[in-house]
Amino acid sequence: MTPMTQSPAKPRHVPVVIVGGGQAGLSVSRHLQKRGIGHIVFERYRRFHSWRENRWDTFCLVTPNWQCRLPDFPYAGDDPDGFMPKDEIVDYLEGFADSFSPPLEENVTVTRIARTGEGYRVETTAGLFVAEQVVIATGGYDTPIVPPYAGSLDPAILQIHSRDYRRPSQLPEGATLVVGTGQSGVQIMEDLVRDGRKVHLAVGPAPRSPRKYRGRDSTDWLYDAGHYSMTIRDHPDPVKAVTQTNHYMSGRDGGHEIDLRRFALEDGVCLYGSVAGMDGQTIRFEPDLEKNLDDADRSYVGIRNQIDAYIERHDIDAPVEPPFEKVWRPKREITEIDAAAEGITSIVWSIGFRPDYAWIEVPVFDERGKPVFDRGICDVAGFYFVGLGWLNTWGSGRFLAIDEDSRHLAKAIASVHARGVLAEA
């Protein structure tokens, strides 16, 4: 749809405004539509923009296709245990949106939201709106993180963020330093290795997971064991759950686990600890490589142990696998390198993102600027968040639990709507 022309002198009233036209925002839209509640969805780009534009060419899901369960639109393909590549993900999302034709306004940016006596004042590039309730579905991937010391690096070395990486040919000839070992970092590292590139990798504290174990995908075992239905209230360490980087593994070529030790041993990837600083051609690292590798392996073995315990409890006949072994250890911790001497001509930053809520002038944030809510429902009446990790369960920021979370919010929105209660000024 094309942006609407609104006179700022005549604000348009709408019961509910949803900010963000990705899978989370449109899932809430679907449930509101089913309840007959008027609403509008604003998307600053094109719907599903990040899936189309902010993923590399060989990107694919890390969770299996059967976990794609958008409202009234579960995955219906012929490979439920596979991992959709980028183009198929976009096709799936487009099919979902086309299945119910949401009231979506694309290429409209919400520039400010503030409380008023009538509810919420929503300022956009398409004009002014007044809403009784507002749902924020913009996710947490607004601002790519690049540390300040990156500006001290020799400008001859190309620096890009994982959001802008597409393919190896995008980078200049020579070696590449990938910084970060979350899901993006390790998969980009592998993409470069497969292209025959010399790769250096700064290993952070991200945990890792087995892919296939004892005859099934590890996510299948964990789902059956109830791991994904655990709520943040029931989690033994909720702070760690919310702040921990996702476990790394891959869905590429049918799915496989990623053992960084093997990449060092078999592919010649140079491993270092976390980046500590940069200056000219000098790159410094923390002496935490072995610790980070060991911590990742501890997570890996812990998941295997969880699965083993579940199999034993339920007396399941499953193949037994040999115990885990570390195939490589660093001979020493390298804490400083000369990029020129190592032939490093590019750096790919893969250390995450920060959300941007500066445009929201509603008291729903803590002292660190993070939204405060209970299952997405804020203490400020009529204000909600959706699509964030651990909104309620592990699957909240993923396809697995978006339907459940959006249904829960729609029920809360409907309750307020039925009472005719506006947010108090």
pTM, full prediction:
0.94
Question: What's the pLDDT score for residue 423?
Answer: 40
Residue 167 tokens read as 């393919």
The SS3 call for residue 60 is strand
Q: 283: Cβ–Cβ under 8 A, 6 or more apart, which residues?
A: 153, 177, 275, 277, 336, 337, 339, 344
| Class for the domain spanning 146-349 | alpha beta
In the DSSP assignment, the letter for residue 377 is B
CA distance 206 to 165: 20
**pLDDT for residue 419:** 84
Q: For residue 142, count other CB atoms closer than 10 A to its CB.
A: 12
Segments of the chain assigned to CATH 3.50.50.60: 12-142+355-419, 146-349
CATH code: domain 12-142+355-419 is 3.50.50.60
DSSP states along 332-374? S---EEEHHHHTEEEEEE-S-EE---TTEESS-B-TTS-B--B
Closest listed residue to residue 168, CA positions, set 146, 186, 188, 144 = 188
Backbone φ, ψ for residue 102 (5° rounding): -70, 155
Q: Say what the pLDDT of residue 9 is.
A: 59
pLDDT of residue 421: 52
* CB 222, CB 303: distance < 8 Å: yes
User: Three-class SS of residue 304?
Assistant: helix
Low-confidence ranges of the chain (pLDDT < 50): 1-2, 6-7, 423-425
Beta-sheet strands, E only, within 59-163: 69-70, 73-74, 104-106, 110-116, 119-124, 127-136, 143-144, 158-161
* pLDDT in the model for residue 424: 39
Q: What is the DSSP string of 201-267?
A: EE--S--B--SEETTEEHHHHHHHTTGGG-BTTT-S-HHHHHHSPPPB-B-GGG-B---HHHHHHHH
CB contact at 8 A, 139 and 376 = no
HSE (side-chain half, CA atoms, 13 Å) at 16: 37
